[in-house]
Amino acid sequence: MILNGIYVAIGGFFGAITRYSMGRWISKRVQSSFPFGTFIINLLGSFLLGLLFGTRLVGPTALLLGTGFMGAFTTFSTFKVESIKLSTSKEWRTMILYVGLSYTLGVLLAFVGYLIGLSL
């Protein structure tokens, strides 16, 4: 049981660092009220988690990559806060686009990743 927690912690450590680094890299290159960093990271994470799920990984590898890395890499809470910020700034069009595309493309990419994972 403790070993499982260590796998999740290690994956989470690297997932959080990767998210932070990618988010900063994207933010430096794209200046917009649309939160591209979180958007791209969450879509990539949806695809990759679908891919992992499709390969039917279990055990330590699933804990390390799925629960740990992908859990820390993707960020539902930041997505929600950015949506609220867009709303309070009355950037309605950007908020609707962000929320709509995030949910729609996120589910689609998770499904595509799952299908690809099944074929591996």
Percent helix, strand, coil in the chain (nearest 5)? 85, 0, 15
The answer on whether 71 is annotated among ligand-binding residues is yes
User: What one-letter code names the amino acid at 48?
Assistant: L
User: Is residue 92 packed enough to be buried (19+ CB in 10 Å), middle (13-18) or exposed (0-12)?
Assistant: exposed
Phi, psi of 62 (to 5 degrees): -65, -40
How many other C-beta atoms lie within 10 A of the C-beta of residue 40? 14
User: What one-letter code names the amino acid at 74?
Assistant: T
Binding site listing for Na(+):
71, 74
Binding site listing:
71, 74
